[in-house]
Amino acid sequence: MGVKYAVSNEIAMMTKMAGMDGMFIDMEHSVLTMREVSQLITACNYVGVSPIVRIPSKAHWHLSRVLDAGAAAVVIPHCETVEQVQEIVKDAKYAPLGRRGCAGNQPILNFQAVPTLLQNDLLNRETMVIPMIETPGAVELADDFFAIEGVDGVLVGSNDLCTDLGIPGQYDNAAYLDSVTKVIKAGVKAGKPIGIGGIGGRLDLLEKFFETGATWSLSGADGAMLQAGMKKLGQTYAEINQRVQGARTAEALAPVSEPVPVAQKTPVAIDVKSGTKAPQSTVQVAEVTVS
């Protein structure tokens, strides 16, 4: 479940009840504030949904603030070199793996006071650092990325990858499929998770990638799902309206039963002598005048 617009804490429980395992909080392609992200992270941890945050840049303060807020995983966009990823790990992990600054009473530990040594070791093991692979050059470095201690998996950014390959939106193109397969094989060899992003609507491709060894995917964004739901509802009401209006039009255009012309009727007259009815052809109609 991807979140870019829904900032109410209730979205965490909705995600949980929908059967989702995690919430992908996107700070790269949204205007979410750090306060809003912090509240979403806390809500996710409370209901048992893993908060995964994509930060807007590789800056160390983005990494540290999101992790201090309680993110279970941090996703870093546009990773291009081994050196970049190594620096990211240093900023995200405590010593001896890195240089992340220590902070106590952390939300991810339910604000409990945990001895620093225990806290640092626990969070180094349990919080995930996930660089994104979004260019052909990064695809070629997939094995090297996975080999870095402190890298806990990667996420393939399909939209940017296809764009950089010169085939924007062409997810059936062999260049894209081969690139993703190469990343998946590298992850399987390293024994680390591989995520696929950007093709949530292509369940056929996701199934193929899962069979190859991918382990997770982005399942859709809040705005897209809300828009799809509203569109479906709008179409349903339009169809109902069309049927109702069609029925009314058909009723209005239905032919009315024509009355039998007077000339075709057999006139009936009253025999004033006998008081009986008889066809006008045999009885003269009496004209009665009341004076």
CA 244 vs CA 237, 240, 254: distances in Å: 10, 6, 15
Is 34 inside a domain boundary? yes
Q: Is a pLDDT exceeding 70 seen at residue 278?
A: no
Query: Which of 131, 162, 180 corresponds to the end of one domain?
Result: 131
Nearest one of 195, 165, 164, 223 to 26, comparing CA atoms: 223
Is 233 inside a domain boundary? no
User: Which of these ranges, 202-206, 228-232, 267-271, has the smallest mean pLDDT?
Assistant: 267-271
Question: Total structural domains in the chain?
Answer: 3
Q: How confident is the model at residue 281 (pLDDT cuts 50, 70, 90)?
A: very low
Residue numbers of the domain that contains 37: 1-131
* pLDDT value for 34: 96
User: Which of these ranges, 46-55, 90-99, 194-203, 278-287, has the smallest mean pLDDT?
Assistant: 278-287
CATH, residue 103: 3.20.20.60
Is 246 inside a domain boundary? no
* pLDDT value for 1: 79
Ranked by mean pLDDT, which of 108-112, 123-127, 131-135 comes out on top? 131-135
Computed over every residue of the chain, the mean pLDDT equals 88
Instruction: Give the integer Cα–Cα distance in Å for 172 and 281.
Output: 89
Is 261 inside a domain boundary? no
Per residue in 19-33, pLDDT tens? 999 999 999 999 999
79 shares its domain with 139: no
Q: How confident is the model at residue 219 (pLDDT cuts 50, 70, 90)?
A: confident
Q: How confident is the model at residue 282 (pLDDT cuts 50, 70, 90)?
A: very low
* pLDDT value for 254: 75
Is 224 inside a domain boundary? no
**Which pTM does this prediction carry?**
0.81
Query: Which of 131, 165, 188 corresponds to the end of one domain?
Result: 131
Is 232 inside a domain boundary? no
139 shares its domain with 175: yes
Is 180 inside a domain boundary? yes
Query: Which of 80, 101, 131 corresponds to the end of one domain?
Result: 131
Is 249 inside a domain boundary? no
Q: Is a pLDDT exceeding 50 seen at residue 287?
A: no
Structure tokens at 223: 């705005």
* pLDDT value for 258: 62
What are the φ and ψ backbone dihedral angles of 191, each rounded to 5 degrees? 70, 30
178 shares its domain with 166: yes
Q: Which residues have a Cβ under 8 Å from the Cβ of 164 and sit 6 or more positions away? A: 134, 135, 136
Mean pLDDT over 41-58 rounds to 96
DSSP the chain: -EESS--STHHHHHHHHTT-SEEEEESTTS---HHHHHHHHHHHHHHT-EEEEE-SSS-HHHHHHHHHTT-SEEEE----SHHHHHHHHHHHS-TTT--PPP-SS-GGGTT----HHHHHHHHHHHSEEEEEE-SHHHHHTHHHHHHSTT---EEEEHHHHHHHTT-TT-TTSHHHHHHHHHHHHHHHHHT--EEEES-TT-HHHHHHHHHHT--EE---BHHHHHHHHHHHHHHHHHHHHHHHHHHHHHHHHSPPPPPPPGGGS--EEE-TTT--EEETTTSPPPPP---
